[in-house]
């Protein structure tokens, strides 16, 4: 083979190998970078979605999202869909039935999310954490999680707190109407109003939602004032005492919320995931 031919072949082979290696390396680097970026973005998005789902879980007594209250200590999700959530409460001895409801509800909403292949939701720094976490993970229910101590499930307790929330929400909505100071906005007059007669507000939406959860009338034609236990309308003669009870309930819930926020802040120095600044 002549020198010229050898040079041509060598140059061609060199060019082909170089081009091939360059293409392979480039493709590999591109695939690695693309995969890494995709995984990172996916994890961030999923974590945000999980936190948004947790915002639907409420403290049953305070009727506020566990995220806003600062009860979510951490929230993360791996690239393969393993979600981990750590919950915390204001004190070591917070009622275990309330705690169980929140952990179970959080586990349910996270497990139901698209893309979550495994959910691990646990309560930390609580005297009954082991029983609660084990029971929720096994979907055993409250009674089986506390054998010999619990006498039933928590459906009735949940409904009782929802009725309290309806009563407190009624005061929030009615206060805005009463604040107009018109004769038509007196307590007796409120008994004749329907939900559709009240100006739209965040408080009204919330009241409708709580009523609907209990199976109480929540449409535009539903009376503004109802007995949260029966759903029956409150008459004009009963309106004033009904509103006093509603105001007392609202003040009590707000006071408890403030106390719990203060105790949580004293117990933990860091802000919870999604916590509202006060």
Tokens 């003669």 map to which residue? 237
Predicted pLDDT at 241: 97
Q: What is the DSSP string of 7-59?
A: HHHHHHHHHHHHHHHHHHHHHHHHHHHHHHHHHHHHHHHHHHHHHHHHTT-EE
Predicted pLDDT at 53: 96
Which whole number is the average pLDDT over 151-177?
A: 96
How high is the mean pLDDT of the chain?
A: 86
Contacting residues for 99 by C-beta, under 8 A, at least 6 apart: 89, 123, 126, 128, 132
Which whole number is the average pLDDT over 174-184?
A: 77
Tell me the C-alpha distance between 236 and 192, whole Å. Answer: 8
Predicted pLDDT at 193: 94
Q: Residue 109 — very low, low, confident or very high, per pLDDT cuts 50/70/90? A: very high
Residue scoring higher pLDDT (9 or 46): 46
Predicted pLDDT at 278: 66
Q: Residue 36 — very low, low, confident or very high, per pLDDT cuts 50/70/90? A: very low
Strand partners, 65: 58
Both structure tokens of 203: 């408080």
Residue 95 confidence (pLDDT) above 50? yes
Q: Which of 47, 48, 64 is nearest to 56 (CA)?
A: 64
Q: What is the DSSP string of 147-191?
A: TTT--S-SHHHHHHHHHHHHHHHHHHHHHHHHTT--GGGSHHHHT
Predicted pLDDT at 83: 95
Both structure tokens of 237: 């003669």
Q: Residue 183 — very low, low, confident or very high, per pLDDT cuts 50/70/90? A: low
Residue 7 confidence (pLDDT) above 50? no
Tell me the C-alpha distance between 215 and 231, whole Å. Answer: 9
Predicted pLDDT at 22: 44
Residue 10 confidence (pLDDT) above 80? no
Q: Which of 70, 81, 73 is nearest to 47 (CA)?
A: 81
pLDDT in tens, 245-273: 999 999 999 999 999 999 999 999 999 99
Which whole number is the average pLDDT over 229-242?
A: 96
Angle subtended at Cα 170 by Cα 182 and Cα 248, rounded to the nearest 5 degrees = 100
Predicted pLDDT at 182: 59
Predicted pLDDT at 46: 59
pLDDT in tens, 123-160: 999 999 999 999 999 999 999 999 999 999 999 999 99
Percentage above 90 pLDDT, the chain: 76
Predicted pLDDT at 17: 38
Q: Residue 178 — very low, low, confident or very high, per pLDDT cuts 50/70/90? A: confident
Predicted pLDDT at 104: 98
Q: Give all domains of the chain, ordered by start, each with its CATH number.
A: 51-153 (3.30.300.130), 156-267 (no CATH)
Predicted pLDDT at 4: 45
Q: Residue 74 — very low, low, confident or very high, per pLDDT cuts 50/70/90? A: very high
Tell me the C-alpha distance between 113 and 54, whole Å. Answer: 11
């Amino acid at each position: 083979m002549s020198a010229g031919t050898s040079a041509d072949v060598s140059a061609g082979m060199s060019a082909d190998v170089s081009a091939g290696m360059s293409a392979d390396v480039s493709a590999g680097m591109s695939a690695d970078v693309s995969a890494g970026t995709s995984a990172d973005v996916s994890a961030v998005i999923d974590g945000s979605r999980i936190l948004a789902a947790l915002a639907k879980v409420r403290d049953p007594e305070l009727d506020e999202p566990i995220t806003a209250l600062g009860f979510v200590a951490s929230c993360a999700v791996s690239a393969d869909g393993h979600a981990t959530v750590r919950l915390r409460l204001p004190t070591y001895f917070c009622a275990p039935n309330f705690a169980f409801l929140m952990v179970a509800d959080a586990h349910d909403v996270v497990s139901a999310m698209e893309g979550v292949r495994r959910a691990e939701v646990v309560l930390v720094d609580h005297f009954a954490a082991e029983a609660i976490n084990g029971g929720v993970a096994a979907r055993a229910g409250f009674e089986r999680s506390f054998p010999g101590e619990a006498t039933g499930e928590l459906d009735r307790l949940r409904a009782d707190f929802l009725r309290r929330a309806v009563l407190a929400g009624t005061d929030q909505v009615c206060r805005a109407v009463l604040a107009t100071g018109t004769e038509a906005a007196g307590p007796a007059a409120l008994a004749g109003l329907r939900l559709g007669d009240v100006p739209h507000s965040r408080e009204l939406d919330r009241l409708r939602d709580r009523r609907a959860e209990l199976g109480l009338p929540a449409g535009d034609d539903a009376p503004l004032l109802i007995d949260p236990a029966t759903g029956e309308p409150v008459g004009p003669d009963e309106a004033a005492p009904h509103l006093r009870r509603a105001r007392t309930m609202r003040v009590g819930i707000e006071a408890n919320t403030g106390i719990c926020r203060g105790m949580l802040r004293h117990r933990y120095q860091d802000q919870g995931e999604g916590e509202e600044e006060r």
